[in-house]
Amino acid sequence: MPSEKLTRILLAKSPFSSDEITAMSDADGWHWVYENMPPAKPKHEALEICFTGFGVCERTDLEKLASIQGMTVRTSVTTSLKFLCIGENAGPSKVKRAQSRGVTFLNREQFMELISDGVLPS
């Protein structure tokens, strides 16, 4: 008879009835699970992006778009920042910090291309 955990999984995900599950060995049940259930998606950290040099409304819109795409929006240059999207009024100190950390710079158009096509600037 399968363990309680395995029984819950099989009841929720398999085509087997309760009686069929009860008749299974634990090994048979886990074999079915590993053969028929998709592997868990690997967990990855969200890409971090910061917007600078934009007006408040435009920056807010860009931040929403980034969040919808699963990116983590930062308000400052962090050690794990991947992208700095710069507008016309980008502050020189933020740009300098990002350069020293190897951050990829994007303008608004490149950011829009990134979220629509997944294309990074060259």
- pLDDT tens by residue, the chain, 122 residues: 889 888 998 998 899 999 999 999 989 998 998 888 776 554 456 789 999 999 999 999 999 999 988 899 999 999 999 999 999 999 899 999 999 999 999 999 999 988 887 777 66
pLDDT of residue 38: 73
Which range of residues forms the domain containing residue 10?
Answer: 4-36
Q: Is residue 54 in some structural domain?
A: yes
Quick check: is 21 in a domain?
yes
Whether residue 92 lies inside any domain: the answer is: yes
Whether 66 and 25 map to the same domain: the answer is no
Beta carbons of 75 and 53 less than 8 angstroms apart: no
Q: How many domains does the chain have?
A: 2
* Same domain membership, residue 60 and residue 23: no
Strand, coil or helix: 38? coil
The pLDDT of residue 68 = 87
pLDDT at 86: 97
Residues 58 and 97 in one domain: yes
